[in-house]
Amino acid sequence: MLILAHRGYHAAVAENTLEAFEAAIMAGVNGIETDVRMSRDGVPVLVHDRVMATGQAVSDLAHREIEGVLGYKIPTLDEALAHFPDILWNIEIKTLDRLSTVFGVLEKYQTRHRIIVSSFRHDLIAICASSLKLNCGLLVAHRPQTLDSLLADFDRDGNARINHLVWDYNVLDEALLMQAAANGFRNFVYGPVTRAEHEECRQMGVDGVITDYPLLMQGV
């Protein structure tokens, strides 16, 4: 089971920073999950929340203004991928805003890096699968009645790169996991907290866990 550090390992440093990614790698993770949003000046930056603590939207601020609000350096998508070429990346794209700019960065690295693109916007993932030579994943925050109902909007034959499902821990269903695996999907899970929850993921046979607690996974 792969261990991906959610926004890096941020126990002692700010999340989604080069320092958090370095700390995750030093902790022995297999991969890093991070989030991409667009700044006002058209830069794909690694920020999770849509709105800052000041109430300002990330999209209304330039890259350097975001750093000024947060008080620390925020890497761009380009900087992070260039800085850590050997780790597995799970890049969550938050919005359709200036998607071609984000795709342009990903295209630059798609032949040299291991990258999974994921999103709750499944329409965005369909665009990604047809535009880039990267593995793509659907983020799943609800428990579907059937796997077919989850995939109803997709032609698997035409979207072979949509090959990951990234499940919220709270909606895990072992039967759906098994069915997804039998249909060629890799199952990732985000959100387990306790050691017992991480162990449950392992026992269910998931392929990867996206966790805020990568050290907790040692020995699981």
Q: If pLDDT is split at 50, 70 and 90, which confidence band does 152 have?
A: confident
For 2-35+76-217, CATH gives 3.20.20.190
The three-class DSSP label of residue 14 is: coil
Token couple for 96: 């359709």
Report the pLDDT value the prediction gives residue 165, as an integer from 0 to 100: 98
Cβ proximity of 192 and 209 under 8 Å? yes
Give dist(CA 42, CA 183) in Å, integer: 38
Q: Is the pLDDT of residue 46 over 90?
A: yes
Report the pLDDT value the prediction gives residue 218, as an integer from 0 to 100: 65
Report the pLDDT value the prediction gives residue 123, as an integer from 0 to 100: 92
Q: What is the mean pLDDT of residues 87-116?
A: 96
Paired sense of beta strands 31-38 and 208-211, if any: unpaired
Q: If pLDDT is split at 50, 70 and 90, which confidence band does 153 have?
A: confident
Report the pLDDT value the prediction gives residue 29, as an integer from 0 to 100: 96
Q: What is the mean pLDDT of residues 45-62?
A: 92
Report the pLDDT value the prediction gives residue 30, as an integer from 0 to 100: 97
- Annotated catalytic, 48? yes
Catalytic choice (6, 10, 164, 198):
6
Write out pLDDT tens, residues 195-218.
999 999 999 999 999 999 998 876
More confident residue, 137 or 50: 137
Answering whether pTM is above 0.85, one says: yes
- Annotated catalytic, 6? yes
What's the mean pLDDT when you consider all of the chain? 94
Catalytic choice (10, 48, 63, 198):
48
DSSP line for 135-203: EEEEEE-S--SSHHHHTTT--TTT-TTEEEEEEEGGG--HHHHHHHHHTTPEEEEE---SHHHHHHHHH
Read off the DSSP letter of residue 59: G
Report the pLDDT value the prediction gives residue 154, as an integer from 0 to 100: 72
Give dist(CA 93, CA 90) in Å, integer: 10
Beta bridge partners of residue 2, listed in sequence order: 208
Q: Is the pLDDT of residue 220 over 60?
A: no
Give dist(CA 138, CA 90) in Å, integer: 12
